[in-house]
């Protein structure tokens, strides 16, 4: 079972890696500004534990190595092969650090609370990426794959890779948690039909022609806000993922508000803004989830109070019915003074009153009965 799960994640890892490189890549070709495999690696480790580490290592090696080999001739292929091993080790280390931090923070679903969203973003998504992506740049420089050795270039490339990996974790994990434990049919069945309409509008606004609908693209922001407020985590995460890929592809082709003087500057600005967009919308979704949870708790308390009141009313009505019985006409025997109840049974007066009221009885003798029963023991003077 775990082998099948691992292989499934492995396939998604490979496909998402090549998709990111295809949309927007940086020299030497294996670096991209959206590294979804980072998020898929964390999801795999959350699903299978440390047994998923080999899948991550192999997947990273298969993605990175072909792009490294293109920069060398066949006689010098050993260096890119060794560099690919180090890069795969860095990606595996990054996933393992994110997994351990996630477990240490004891996060069940980090997208159900605004506070948990912030903890996830800075501790699970950003911190492991910032701690390991510089290793990728160092390896590329040590093996002579990157030829620019200026400190500013080193810092800028490390920064954009850290943001790219953070974006990958931030976009992939919400989808994992929204689809966790569900099959494809269950996912489609539980998807709000309004989401498909919003998805169509989103794609229309994004891919409309610049000639006549360029300004309308800004409507994607109120549309995304509507999705955040009215729909579930799955709809929000898919909408953000589509928006991110469109922004990356448009920037790579030189279109959009993120285009700067250099490619690296454009990508850095775009990824930073996408992360801000993710953080704002996911934080809002977390706050709304908390409000919905509190609303359900209040509704539960109100329901429980209503049940308690109904039970108290039933007890009160039953008591009132008994009081009415005592205040009505009681059939009593003229000889033995027993009382007939509603079921037709004759009971002694004290038994009937004890059953239908809170009265209690203590037995004694009146003077007349005392003289009658014990004439030798009582006389008139004793009873006066």
Domain ranges of the chain: 2-300, 331-383
Burial 265-302 (b: 16+ CB within 10 A, else e): ebbbbbbbebbebbbebbbbbbeebeeeeeeeeeeeee
pLDDT higher for 323 or 90? 90
Q: What is the pLDDT of residue 59?
A: 93
Which pLDDT band, with edges at 50, 70 and 90, does 20 fall under? confident
Q: Note whether 216 and 205 are within 8 A (CB).
A: yes
Which pLDDT band, with edges at 50, 70 and 90, does 93 fall under? very high
Cα separations in angstroms, 274 against 120, 144, 217, 265, 352: 16, 32, 16, 14, 81
Q: Note whether 17 and 71 are within 8 A (CB).
A: no
Which pLDDT band, with edges at 50, 70 and 90, does 324 fall under? low
Which pLDDT band, with edges at 50, 70 and 90, does 154 fall under? confident
Q: How far apart are the first and last CA of the chain?
A: 98
Average pLDDT, the chain: 81
Instruction: Tell me the three state secondary structure of residue 330.
Output: coil
As given in the structure block, the two tokens for residue 200 are 């169509």
Q: What is the pLDDT of residue 217?
A: 59
* Candidate from 69-83, 171-185, 205-219 with smallest mean pLDDT: 205-219
As given in the structure block, the two tokens for residue 39 are 């998020």
Instruction: Tell me the three state secondary structure of residue 332.
Output: strand
β-partners of residue 31 are 26
Q: What is the pLDDT of residue 29?
A: 62
Q: Note whether 58 and 10 are within 8 A (CB).
A: yes
pTM of the model: 0.74
pLDDT(212) > 60: no
Which pLDDT band, with edges at 50, 70 and 90, does 23 fall under? confident
- Pick from 349, 382, 350, 383: nearest CA to 367: 383
- How far, in Å, CA of 95 to CA of 192, rounded? 32
- How far, in Å, CA of 102 to CA of 235, rounded? 24
CA atoms within 13 A on the CB side of 210: 5
Three-state secondary structure of 294-308: HHHHHHHHHHHHHHH
Q: Tell me the residue length of the chain.
A: 384
- How far, in Å, CA of 316 to CA of 24, rounded? 74
pLDDT higher for 326 or 342? 342
Q: Note whether 127 and 169 are within 8 A (CB).
A: no
pLDDT higher for 357 or 132? 132
Identify the DSSP state of 384: -
| Secondary structure percentages of the chain, helix, strand, coil, to 5 | 75, 0, 20
Mean pLDDT along residues 6-25: 87
Strands 339-340 and 31-32: what pairing?
Answer: unpaired
Ordered DSSP codes for 61-105: HHHHHHHHHTTS-GGG-HHHHHHHHHHHHHHHHHHHHHHHHHHHH
pLDDT(188) > 70: no
Mean pLDDT along residues 339-343: 77
- Pick from 118, 232, 132, 135: nearest CA to 170: 118
Q: What is the pLDDT of residue 327?
A: 62
Cα separations in angstroms, 206 against 69, 129, 219, 259, 268: 36, 29, 9, 16, 21
């Amino acid at each position: 079972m775990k082998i099948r799960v691992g292989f499934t994640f492995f396939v998604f890892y490979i496909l998402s890696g090549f998709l990111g490189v295809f949309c927007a890549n940086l020299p030497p070709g294996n670096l991209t500004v959206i590294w979804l495999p980072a998020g898929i690696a964390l999801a795999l480790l959350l699903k299978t534990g440390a047994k998923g580490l080999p899948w991550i290592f192999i997947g990273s090696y298969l993605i990175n190595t072909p792009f490294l080999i293109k920069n060398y001739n066949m006689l010098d292929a050993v260096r890119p092969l060794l560099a690919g091993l180090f890069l795969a080790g860095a990606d595996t280390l990054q996933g393992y650090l994110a997994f351990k931090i996630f477990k240490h923070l004891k996060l069940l679903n980090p997208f159900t609370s605004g506070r948990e969203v912030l903890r996830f973003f800075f501790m699970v998504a950003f911190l492991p990426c910032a701690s390991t992506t510089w290793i990728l740049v160092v390896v590329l420089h040590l093996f002579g794959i990157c030829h620019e050795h200026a400190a500013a270039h080193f810092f800028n490339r490390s920064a954009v890779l850290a943001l790219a990996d953070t974006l990958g974790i931030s976009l992939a994990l919400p989808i994992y948690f929204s689809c966790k434990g569900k099959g494809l049919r269950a996912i489609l069945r539980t998807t709000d039909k309004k989401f498909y309409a919003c998805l169509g509008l989103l794609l229309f606004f994004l891919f409309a022609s610049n000639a006549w609908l360029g300004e309308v693209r800004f409507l994607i922001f109120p549309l995304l806000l509507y999705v955040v407020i009215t729909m579930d985590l799955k709809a929000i995460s898919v909408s953000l993922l589509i928006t991110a890929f469109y922004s990356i592809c448009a920037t790579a082709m030189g279109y959009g508000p993120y285009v700067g003087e250099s490619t690296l500057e454009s990508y850095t600005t775009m990824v930073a803004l996408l992360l801000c967009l993710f953080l704002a919308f996911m934080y809002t979704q977390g706050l709304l989830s908390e409000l919905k949870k509190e609303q359900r708790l209040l509704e539960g308390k109100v329901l429980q109070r209503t049940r308690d009141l109904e039970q108290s009313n039933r007890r009160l009505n039953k008591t009132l019915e008994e009081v009415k019985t005592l205040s009505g006409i009681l059939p009593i025997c003229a000889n033995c003074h027993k009382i007939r109840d509603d079921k037709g049974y004759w009971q002694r007066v004290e038994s009937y009153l004890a059953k239908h009221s809170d009265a209690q009885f203590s037995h004694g003798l009146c003077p007349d009965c005392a003289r009658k029963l014990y004439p030798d023991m009582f006389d008139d003077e004793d009873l006066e």
